[in-house]
Amino acid sequence: MRDVVVVGGGLCGLAAAYELHKNHIPTTLIEVKPELGGSLQTKTVNGFIFDGAMMAHDIAEPGRFEAYLAELGIMDHAFVTDEGRLAFDAGNRVLIDALARRIESIPRMMRMAVSTLGRFDDGRFSICMENGMLLDARALVVAIPALYAERVFYTLTPEISYRLLDYRYDTITRVSVGYRTSDGLPLVIPPDTPLTEIQCLTGTPRTPSKNGTVIQAALRFAAHDLPDDPVGELAALMGWPPNPDADHIATWPHSDPAQWRQSDHPRTVAHIQSLLPAGVALANSDYVPTSAPPHLDERVQQGIDAARRIIAHIG
């Protein structure tokens, strides 16, 4: 029998799996996609390094994350941005790759989706896979968004499933551009536009030369509403040169849960957590009891905390 199964190989799941592995708990990781990392993706275009989901400045305030990065051996990949935040020279993927290396020896079931969770008569958890395979475990870390967890919990704890069914998501299109200059690029978001956030890194290791600029913008556009030339329109709207030296577009139909903006969200999350059977931990940014978009180090901590609850449970 497996001791612990971690469902979901995004940042939270990886941080949980590493914490369990560090504490010598036999752990198996299940991830439906062919690659680990979930929504943390990094793309390099013409020497410019862009993050697809969370933006570079969302990593952590300096002082909060360095010890962990040193433990993972990636402190030399971190630098402090002009805004005073930590960022990775080669994109957020650095963190995923480092965690993946640390848990290289644990069993990984890739391209396999967990369909439902349940319980055998003797108290072990059953993990039913979409391909019909049935696994068992003493404890579980569920590190997947509410969108998928809703179905997964339906047999084990239907009330959790009903609560997760209420989740609604915002859609974000992240348009990233790179210029081989660091001068004269206006950054003030004009009023009444679909632009919600803009972040600029100049002369950092994420540009091919010292004078380069990487700009990442978040637009409230679904893929089907996107203009024909989103990069050109963004450049025109902001007053940037029309043809950037690199660009990248990523549309996220389910980015942030709209629940983050609701005043009763912390109570809902606390209620969902209270409904979890002993031996099951839930970890993902959908279950953060705050309204502010949190940072990467907090997602890692969520995974670590989930693993520690499981370690306490199984002794």
Ligand X SMILES: Cc1cc2nc3c(=O)[nH]c(=O)nc-3n(C[C@H](O)[C@H](O)[C@H](O)COP(=O)(O)OP(=O)(O)OC[C@H]3O[C@@H](n4cnc5c(N)ncnc54)[C@H](O)[C@@H]3O)c2cc1C
Q: Work out which of 32, 86, 214, 311 binds ligand X, going by CB under 6 A.
A: 32
Cβ density class 196-206: b for 16+ within 10 Å, e for less:
eebbbbbebeb
Q: Are 115 and 35 in contact (CB under 8 A)?
A: no
Return the percent helix, strand and coil in the chain, to nearest 5. Answer: 30, 25, 40
Q: Which two tokens stand for residue 278?
A: 């002993």
Binding mask 286-305 for ligand X (x = CB under 6 A): -------xx----x------
Q: Work out which of 48, 88, 148, 240 binds ligand X, going by CB under 6 A.
A: 148
Phi and psi at 151, nearest 5°, equal -75, -40
Q: Work out which of 4, 6, 42, 58 binds ligand X, going by CB under 6 A.
A: 58
Q: Is 151 helix (H, G, I), strand (E, B) or coil?
A: helix
d(CA 313, CA 307): 10
Angle between helices 11-22 and 93-102 (to 10 degrees): 30
Q: Work out which of 2, 4, 6, 13 binds ligand X, going by CB under 6 A.
A: 13
Of 68-76, 143-151, 205-213, 273-281, the window that binds ligand X (rule: CB under 6 A) is 143-151
d(CA 200, CA 69): 23
| Binding residues for ligand X, total number by CB under 6 A | 34
d(CA 135, CA 152): 14
Calculate the CA 209 to chain-centre distance: 29
Q: Work out which of 144, 175, 214, 307 binds ligand X, going by CB under 6 A.
A: 144
In the window 253-282, what residues touch ligand X (CB under 6 A)? 255-256
Of 30-38, 69-77, 236-244, 262-270, the window that binds ligand X (rule: CB under 6 A) is 30-38
Q: Closest approach of Cβ 301 to ligand X, in Å? A: 11
Q: Closest approach of Cβ 27 to ligand X, in Å? A: 15
| Residue 10 near ligand X by CB under 6 A | yes
User: Which C-beta is closer to ligand X: that of 56 or that of 143?
Assistant: 143
User: Which C-beta is closer to ligand X: that of 156 or that of 212?
Assistant: 156
Binding mask 172-211 for ligand X (x = CB under 6 A): x-x-------------------------------------
Binding mask 65-104 for ligand X (x = CB under 6 A): ----------------------------------------
Q: Are 53 and 250 in contact (CB under 8 A)?
A: yes
Instruction: Label residue 123 exposed, middle or buried (CB < 10 Å: 0-12, 13-18, 19+).
Output: exposed
**Beta pairing partners, 114:** 129
Using alpha carbons, select from 291, 300, 299 the residue that is nearest to residue 267.
291
Binding mask 99-128 for ligand X (x = CB under 6 A): --------------xx--------------
Using alpha carbons, select from 146, 99, 103 the residue that is nearest to residue 4.
103
Q: Closest approach of Cβ 296 to ligand X, in Å? A: 7
Q: Closest approach of Cβ 111 to ligand X, in Å? A: 9
Q: Work out which of 22, 33, 119, 180 binds ligand X, going by CB under 6 A.
A: 33
Instruction: Label residue 186 exposed, middle or buried (CB < 10 Å: 0-12, 13-18, 19+).
Output: exposed
Residues at the site binding ligand X, with contacts judged by CB under 6 A: 7-13, 30-33, 38-40, 53-54, 58, 113-114, 143-145, 148, 152, 172, 174, 252, 255-256, 284-285, 293-294, 299
